[in-house]
Amino acid sequence: MNTQTDLIPNKTISKGVAVPTKRAHVTIQNLCKDFAGITLYKNFNLDIKKGKIVSVFGPNGCGKSTLINMVAGLMKMDAGQVLFDGKTLEQTKIGYVFQNYRDALFPWMTAWDNIAYPLKRMGMNKEQVKSRVEELINLFEIKFSLNQYPYELSGGQQQTTSIMRALACEPEVLFLDEPFSALDFEMTLFIREKLQETNIKTGVTMVIVSHDLEDAVFLADQILLLTRRPTQIAALLDFNMARPRRAESVSEVEFIKIKAQALEIFKREMHKAI
Ligand SMILES: Nc1ncnc2c1ncn2[C@@H]1O[C@H](COP(=O)(O)OP(=O)(O)OP(=O)(O)O)[C@@H](O)[C@H]1O
Ligand SMILES: [Mg+2]
């Protein structure tokens, strides 16, 4: 399978042979993680190219959330190293969109204040904050009032607010853990399109965990398929369909083909004995 052009496992995909990488943005090296004596990751290696969208897909409990949490610095690794353009996490601006947006927003702040929060923390003055929030309002074509509190917003509006907050500081890398899992179909289409637009306009690298294969494929430049634990890379599929992809793109032959290929690999992993 020739799938190693952009997102390159720097050791593990075939016979442990290291593949030299170019223009890697996120470099994961020899990452190890055990939980209660059970090995989740052992010497896991992966490079993610700058500006790409990588969808992470794999069996339940294989460690998708744990992987992005460790890379984003929300969870400690037991061993290994993650670099961003050669820099450490502390030297890098990242954004993170939590799966449970209801708990992720500050309930005592309006949507506007939630989005402005990281900008104020960065030391921006009032005018700068206002101008950045307005940019995001335009990008996301916000029609609802951001003067409302999270509990006054629909699920889709809350998730939109969380994504705007995560993008506010113009991160180099945006991590999203199942961003569509609690959204209805209409909102899923909207958010999917906005994430794609953001990637095209800003070139932010995105790592998206999704349990919906269609969402994963729709957004991906690469689909990262994981094995069961101890988790390794089952396959890396490049998907070069032209952008912007539209809702109708999912019915096109090249879309159906890559989805079928990913499904086959996923099913193979699912049926392996634990
Ligand atoms: N803090 C923790 N303490 C102990 N075990 C944990 C912890 N976090 C995750 N695990 C275990 O590690 C494994 C991977 O969990 P993780 O949540 O990363 O999987 P996932 O692929 O995101 O699963 P899902 O598809 O259900 O979201 C699971 O077996 C889980 O029980
Ligand atoms: Mg998860």
Which tens digit of pLDDT belongs to each residue from 119-165? 999 999 999 999 999 999 999 999 999 999 999 999 899 999 999 99
Question: Using 50, 70 and 90 to split pLDDT, how confident is the model at 46?
Answer: very high
Which residues have their alpha-adjacent CB atom under 5 A from ion ligand 2? 64-65
Atom of ligand 1 nearest to the CA of 62: 21
Q: Are 55 and 226 in contact (CB under 8 A)?
A: no
Q: Is the CB of 114 under 6 A from ligand 1?
A: no
The pLDDT of 179-189, averaged and rounded, is: 90
Ligand 1: residue of 65, 177, 228 to mutate (most ligand atoms within 8 A of CB) is 65
Which residue has better confidence, 213 or 99?
213
The structural domains of the chain, with segments of one domain joined by +, span 107-171
6 pLDDT higher than 80: no
Tokens of 246: 């539209």
pLDDT, residue 7, reads 42
pLDDT of residue 22: 55
| Of 235, 238, 171, 184, the residue nearest 212 (C-alpha) | 184
Average pLDDT taken over every residue of the chain: 91
Say yes or no: CB of residue 111 within 6 Å of ligand 1: no
**Cα–Cα distance for residue pair 187/185, rounded to 1 Å:** 5
**Percent of the chain at pLDDT above 70?**
91
Looking at residue 14, its pLDDT comes to 35
**Of the candidates 181, 198, 192, the residue with the CA atom closest to the CA atom of residue 247:** 192
Question: For ligand 1, is residue 274 a contact (CB within 6 Å)?
Answer: no
pLDDT in the model for residue 100: 83
pLDDT at 274: 59
Atom of ligand 1 nearest to the CA of 66: 18
> Lowest-pLDDT range, 6-20, 114-128, 218-232?
6-20
Distance, CA 65 to ligand 1 centroid (Å)? 7
